Structures are given as structure tokens and as C-alpha cells.
Chain A
């Protein structure tokens, strides 16, 4: 049994973590936590960290002892510099909490790239974790909606860079902009995006600790994740009827199942396919043929098969990317954003001249 650490930083990280904890109860009922038990195969420890106490309070399925509030007003206001400083000041408290949880085989740190708290805590935390332990640490990073503003784009660009340089063993990307196809208002779009991310992560955790017919294990996962440019994403397909396994595998790498917009046939370097379902759907030959076909374009494919009685086929793909055109585009936008922010700042500097006008009435009183 694996010991797995899941950390959620900032509002986005907290909420995805809570979604994971909710889905682990297996039931959609709000009261599941009162009568049900989380169905983690591994020893999963979840930890939510935030500067905004309200974000922590909103969590419903994560134990109180698994929520750490780092007091700093209500968040750091998307200012990563402040975030970094706050983390440093509270580093020992956070690390002590983690130490008390024993050692792990694997850790995930979930965050948005564009906020203040999560995006600044995550690289610092990973650096600390990597320094003190030797288990792999993966970051799950959520990219912002492009129209969210220059500040967020700027943050996303720097945060992603910081995370990559933190010693992380791989970054799994999820893109709000790409996933917003779900529609609905922001709140329900967030909920369904979080659910998608959580579902894939749970499936992954479950698989890593399951008896598989073909070899894929934590080692394979590490190999896959270390491939390419250290950037990965996850695809998933869940049949709601009798679907040929071939179709299920194809769908797991198709745009509709991915968390990040990538043309896997061009950009993927290594991949892992976990195929799960009732024995009747799992024809080894068919799976092998299909995976063989895929490996030509998506690089080496590690495949694992998990038999689940009575289950329709489900396929999870983990894909590492050599290149990400989407990311490049994001950085273009980010550079523009940084320039805009810079100009704004200079303008504000200039605006300060207005103060001179006000200074003329200094010391005078109005007379009526």
C-alpha cells in the first residue's frame, strides 16, 4: 500500500482537494461523510493550505486537522511576492505538520498558477519537500481563463517557471480556459472542472495501488512523468454503456478527455494507459493492437489493465509532452501582460504628480 500525500494550495488547490475527498466517499450525497468511508486504496493524506480562512471554511469533505490556515488578511491578493514571504515566515509550521504525517511514496501538490497564495506557496513547498525527502513530488497546476486579466496571466507565467525550477518531478497541467467548455456560470464551471480533475487523480491513485494485469506501477508512472519537457496532462474516458475497448482507448487521448489542449499525436513523448472494466470488455489482443497503434505517435506507452466486475470500460491516459504550443501561446500573452502591467505601474508613478496640485492647499482651511 502506497503512502500518498495530496496538498492543495490556495483557493483553487483547496477546492480541487475537497472535490477529491468528496469523490473518495463514493457517494454524491452531502451526508456521505457521516455514514461512508473514503475508498482510497492507498494511505492518502490530504492537506489544504491557504491564507484565506474563508476558502478553508468552505471545504466540506476535508478534515479540520487537514486544513492549515496561514493567517495573512484574506489571501495575498494575487501578489506572489507577498505569498512567497508569507510562506517563508510560516515554513516551519507547515513543514512540521507534514513531518508529523510520516513518510510518503509520492506527493501531489495542487494549485492554480495565477492566484497569489497557491502559485507562490507551491514552488516553495515543493523545494522544501524535495530537500527533505526523496519521494517524487508532482504538481497539478491549473491555468487561468485567458480573459481573467493581465495580473493572472503574468502570475501564471512566473509561477509555472518557478514550479519547474523547484525540483518538481513533473507538472500535470489542467487549463480552465480549455475546460470551460462545460459551460454554466463560473461557480458551476469551477465545480465541474474540479470534478474532472479530481476524478482523474482518484483514478490514478487507485490504479497505482491496484493489481494490474500488465505491468504499470509507480515506477512506470515516474518514468512517464520524467519524459519530455516535464509537462504532462491527463486524458480520461468513461463509457456509460457497452463501448468497444478500442474506442475507449482512442477517446482517452482525444481532446474531449484531456485536461489541457494538446495534439497528443504531435506533442506527446511518453504515455501511460490504464484500462479498467469488466473482463468481458477487456480483450488483451484488442487492447494491445490499439496501444501499439498509438505508440507510434504518442511515444512509448505503458499499459495497465484492471479488472472490475460489472464495470463499463474506463481508460486513463497520462501523457508527457515534448512541446506545448498552447503553453507557448500562453507565454506570448503573458509577455504582453507583463508589459501592460509595467506600463500601468509607470503611469501610476506619473499620476502621483497630481499630488503636487493637492499640495497647494496644504495647511489651508475652508471658510463658509
Chain B
């Protein structure tokens, strides 16, 4: 016995060292060490190690290993003998430590496993595998239904997502993921299950109920709702998807506005310091009204805004035109004057934005137009400043001389 105890001690040391060296492949943990009556078993996940018979007189016990109802192996062990098998690629070792007499004989065994992390269910099962409860396969069926498959543009439709567990085990860690369809707007959400949930076998539940509104005509297939889950034993199952119903949206596409801005220079070339008129024509060529039409007149540096129609407001230095609405085929003309002190070429840019009145998404459309560059040339009188000095001095001297002469003469004749 002393010898036996020594071995136990050694094993304990080995077990301890396995804890110390946790993470290494060879590390083992002791799952169980104790007595199990003949006829009872020890369950690890869906495997049951049944203690079939114990013969204390012989220091011998026999074992069966089942996976669920299927016998995988039978083994007889003398004291201190071991056998091993694998669960999910992890090695399980069973060792007979002792045999004990009683009303029913008992075997003292030690069960170790290389990685206990895979283990979900364990413990001594009275009655062995026949009495063991095994974890099953939850089957989650998701159905996505729509209140109507054919609607008019702009109408709404209610989408209902239900899930039912059609498997034989509870679905745990159940998570749903749902994508809203494009070209639809979420109007209202009635039900939305979020976070982890579970679904018992045969149970069915509304997961999502929401109402969406179509924005465009066409035929749209809704994206599937997916779910991930595990069973009771913590086994993960592959993602499952719902059906993908199709909705046909009938009707004309929304009448969109098409605003065009053109800018024209009255004169393509002007002398320095003079001004010219720029005409902005804002026109809606589209099929629907435009709203919030805003035109910013961007003048390059050096080109000055001089004056213009009263509708043109200067907003933080930028001449801006704002039209609340611009009907179909409607056009508006605005004029303003610009001038430049320096020679150069100055393109005038009108950048504009608007919204189609009927666009359910009210998307802002931006665009711009640029005139041909306004050429600012020499001023009418610039030529004067380019002359050599004497060109002015001579006439000035002549004029002064003439003035002086006239003054002198007047004085001479003034009585």
C-alpha cells in the first residue's frame, strides 16, 4: 500500500506540474478522482465511461466507453492500469486506482484529460450511459415574411422575422443579424431582439418586426436574416439564414429636378477698371420641381462684385442666390456687374446645389458651371501712363504757359 501511496503522490506531483505547465500540449488535468459503483458511469460531453463490473478480489474492473448509445470500446484494468480514448481530439486517460467491496463493489478511478476546456458536461451518472442525458442539435429555422409582395412606390410594408427551434436541443447563445434593404427607408421598428437569447426545442418567437417604405420602383429581394447559436453543451453550430422574400414596388420613378445654371459674360474683354455684366440663367430641365436651389457666385481674386439684382445677397463675401423652389421648365435670370483693377483673365464660377422636391431621400445635388475667362485688358487711359514723362510735361507746360500768358494779358488789360 505504501508503494501505492507513493505512486499516488507521484501522480499528484505530475498533475500539479501539469497545472504549472499549463498551456503545453502534454498538460493534463485531473477530471475526477474517486469511487464509482459498478453500473454507474462518468459522463464527459456525449461520452460516458461506464464502470461495468468491479472484482475487488481480483483487483480488477471492467469499463465500457460509449458515445451516446454507441459503444466505442470495452476495457478491463488491473489496479494501476490505464486506458485512453479521444474526445474531440483530446486524450482522456482512465486509471484504476483501487477496488472496493460493498453492497455494490466500487472502483476508485482517476480520469485525466489533456485539455479540459472542451468539456461541457461531466460528472458521475447513476445508471451509466443508459441513464445519461446527451446534448442534442438545435435547428433554428428563420422565416422572413412581408405583409405584401407588391406595393406602390412610397408605400410601406411590414417585415416579420420569426425563428423556431426545430432541433432536439435548446439553442443557446442565439444571435440574430438583420440587414435593412436598400431603397427602403425604415419607418418604425415594433420588435427587435438584440443580444444573446436562447430558444428551447420547439419554441418559436418573433425576432424582428418593422415597417419599411419603398423609395423607388423595382423588384427588390430582401437580404436574409442570419443567426448563430450553440447547443446546451456549448457546441457552436454553423450560421443559418432566413429565406429572402421579394418585394415588387410598382409605379413611376420619382420625378427628379435637373437644374442647370449657365453664366454668360456680356463682354468677353473689358478694359481695366471698367465693369461688365454677367448673366446667370438658372433653369430646371428636369421632370420635377427643384427645392432649395442655392447658387454661389465664386469670383476669382481680383474680380470684384460691383452691383447686381436685389435677389443676389452677399453672404460672408460670396454673392448668393437662393430660390425656395424652381418649377419644371422654369427659368430665372439674374444679372450682376463685376470689375477688375488688374489685368488678367478671370473665370466666373457658379456653384450650385438643389434638392428634387419629390426625391424621398432628399438628396442634395451639387454642381458648378464656369464662364469663359473674362479678359481684363489695359484700361482705356492706361496708354497715358505708359508714355514717357515729357508727353505729359510738354502739354502741362504748354497749358500752364498759356494760362500764365492769359492771366498776364488779363492783368495787363484789367483797369
Measured CB to CB, the residues of A under 8 A from B are: 33-34, 56-57, 59-65, 67
Query: A34's contact among B409, B411, B414, B415, by CB below 8 Å, is which?
Result: B409
A33, B409: Cβ atoms under 8 Å? yes
Give complex CA distance A61, B415 in Å: 11
A56, B413: Cβ atoms under 8 Å? no
A67, B409: Cβ atoms under 8 Å? no
Q: Which residues of chain A come closer than 8 Å to B406, judged between CB atoms?
A: 34
Q: Which residues of chain B come closer than 8 Å to A56, judged between CB atoms?
A: 415
Q: Which residues of chain A come closer than 8 Å to B405, judged between CB atoms?
A: 34
Q: Which residues of chain B come closer than 8 Å to A33, judged between CB atoms?
A: 409, 413
**Max count, chain A CB within 10 A of own CB: residue among B406, B411, B413:** B413
Tell me the count of chain B residues lying within 8 A, CB to CB, of chain A: 8
Of residues 400 to 415 in B, which have CB atoms within 8 Å of A's CB atoms?
405-406, 409, 411-415
Q: Which residue of B lies closest to A64 (CB)?
A: B415
With both chains docked as a complex, state the minimum distance between the C-beta of A13 and any C-beta of chain B, in angstroms.
16
Give complex CA distance A57, B415 in Å: 6
With both chains docked as a complex, state the minimum distance between the C-beta of B93 and any C-beta of chain A, in angstroms.
139
Measured CB to CB, the residues of B under 8 A from A are: 405-406, 409, 411-415
Give complex CA distance A143, B405 in Å: 40
Q: Which residues of chain B come closer than 8 Å to A34, judged between CB atoms?
A: 405-406, 409
A59, B415: Cβ atoms under 8 Å? yes
With both chains docked as a complex, state the minimum distance between the C-beta of A31 and any C-beta of chain B, in angstroms.
9
Q: Which residue of A lies closest to B406 (CB)?
A: A34
With both chains docked as a complex, state the minimum distance between the C-beta of A39 and any C-beta of chain B, in angstroms.
17
Can you sample 16 A-B contacts with CB below 8 Å? A33-B409, A33-B413, A34-B405, A34-B406, A34-B409, A57-B415, A59-B415, A60-B413, A62-B413, A63-B413, A64-B411, A64-B412, A64-B413, A64-B415, A65-B412, A67-B415
Q: Which residues of chain B come closer than 8 Å to A67, judged between CB atoms?
A: 415
Give complex CA distance A67, B415 in Å: 8
Give complex CA distance A34, B413 in Å: 10
Q: Which residue of A lies closest to B412 (CB)?
A: A63
With both chains docked as a complex, state the minimum distance between the C-beta of B411 and any C-beta of chain A, in angstroms.
8
Give complex CA distance A64, B410 in Å: 9
Give complex CA distance A63, B414 in Å: 7
Q: Which residues of chain A come closer than 8 Å to B409, judged between CB atoms?
A: 33-34
Give complex CA distance A123, B405 in Å: 39
Give complex CA distance A60, B405 in Å: 17
With both chains docked as a complex, state the minimum distance between the C-beta of A368 and any C-beta of chain B, in angstroms.
54
Give complex CA distance A62, B406 in Å: 15
Give complex CA distance A114, B413 in Å: 28
Give complex CA distance A64, B412 in Å: 6
Give complex CA distance A33, B413 in Å: 9
**Max count, chain A CB within 10 A of own CB: residue among B405, B406, B415:** B415
Q: Which residues of chain A come closer than 8 Å to B411, judged between CB atoms?
A: 64
Q: Which residue of A lies closest to B410 (CB)?
A: A34
Q: Which residues of chain B come closer than 8 Å to A63, judged between CB atoms?
A: 412-413
Q: Which residue of A lies closest to B415 (CB)?
A: A64
Give complex CA distance A57, B406 in Å: 19
Instruction: Please give me the 5 A-B residue pairs with the lowest Cβ-Cβ distance, nearest first.
Output: A64-B415, A67-B415, A63-B412, A34-B406, A34-B409
Q: Which residues of chain A come closer than 8 Å to B415, judged between CB atoms?
A: 56-57, 59, 64, 67
Give complex CA distance A56, B413 in Å: 11
Excluding A34-B409, A64-B412, 17 further A-B contacts by CB distance (< 8 Å) are A33-B409, A33-B413, A34-B405, A34-B406, A56-B415, A57-B415, A59-B415, A60-B413, A61-B413, A62-B413, A63-B412, A63-B413, A64-B411, A64-B413, A64-B414, A64-B415, A67-B415
Give complex CA distance A56, B414 in Å: 10
Q: Which residue of A lies closest to B414 (CB)?
A: A64
With both chains docked as a complex, state the minimum distance between the C-beta of A109 and any C-beta of chain B, in angstroms.
20
With both chains docked as a complex, state the minimum distance between the C-beta of B405 and any C-beta of chain A, in angstroms.
7
Q: Which residues of chain B come closer than 8 Å to A57, judged between CB atoms?
A: 415
Give complex CA distance A57, B413 in Å: 10
Give complex CA distance A60, B414 in Å: 8
Q: Which residues of chain B come closer than 8 Å to A60, judged between CB atoms?
A: 413
